Amino acid sequence: MSILLLDKEKDMTSFSAIKQAQKELGFSKAGHGGTLDPIATGVLPVFFDQSTKFLQYFNSETKEYIADFVFGINSNTQDITGLLSYESIDNEPDEKDIKNAIKKFKGISKQLPPKFSAKKINGVPMYKLARKGQEFERKTQTINIFNIELLKYEFPKFQIKVLCSKGTYIRTLGVDIGKSLHQAVSMCELKRTKFGSLTLDETITLTKLKNLDKEAKMQYVKRVEEILIDIPQVKIRSSEVTKFQNGCQIKAREIEDTGKHFIFNKKELLGLAIVDENFMINPLKVLTKGEKIRNELK
């Protein structure tokens, strides 16, 4: 049960990053939480093998980013990787103008996703439709900016730190800040510094990972319950293991809370279950028999 906290590097897709990590660590399957565009860097949790069964339970509701924007540039992708056009700037914004502008975006609001995004319309990512020049209707979505602050301003660039809800497009936020200042703006850098409870300090880049020996690499691989810290654990007896693996209910003991729980027998993770109001354990995700929670490669 293995999860790597990757610091994705610039100019690679999230898919390419997880496939390279999978190869380096010798796993057979990989999935990730929260796609990062090629221009973006930062926290990218990579779930390997049977850990991928728990991706949907990963708490990704809040994310923190540090983003850099540049005045005077329009882009069809809202960042500097797109088709660019340049606008002359008659009135250079001062720092107070920018601080006042970004304050207005704090809280709950509606945001229109960019055309060049992975958001789907009838099962097709919008960026594929946009690349073909097809017209389509975008719908606004509700976002929440929990905190936003100006970190740096040296014309024509400014840098902000944003703590936001899942589904927030930071490049769109920057463009909207520019519109409120009557300025063209495009994003030029983006780093995800937090993903739920995970921070950049816990990550490693692929470049560094590739230069480590096998034992050193595995020091960065975490167990699933270390990452999904919001899910409590409950132990069952050895005599109940087969019943759980066969999908049968089991009576929970020494437990006070209902809801999702990791199910353990000694040090072996058996899967995920729902503890109902009668304190019965109802299997939800059952792992292959015999898979150990401790990392066998350590």
Report, as residue numbers or ranges, the catalytic residues. Answer: 37
* Residues 265 and 291 sit within 8 Å (Cβ to Cβ): no
Name the residue with tokens 């897709």: 13
Residue 199 pairs in a beta bridge with 194
Three-class DSSP labels, 28-68 = CCEEECCCCCCCEEEEEEEEEHHHHHHHHHCCCCEEEEEEE
Pairing type for strands 233-235 and 259-265 reads: parallel
Residue 140 φ then ψ, to 5°? -70, 155
Instruction: Show the tokens assigned to 164.
Output: 């936001």
Cα separation of 146 and 152, whole Å? 19
Element holding 208 (H helix, E strand): helix 206-210
- Secondary structure letter of residue 14 according to DSSP: H
Name the residue with tokens 């990791």: 262
In 3D, which of 2, 43, 9 has the Cα closest to residue 25? 2
Cα separation of 18 and 259, whole Å? 31
In 3D, which of 191, 192, 158 has the Cα closest to residue 175? 158
Cα separation of 136 and 127, whole Å? 11
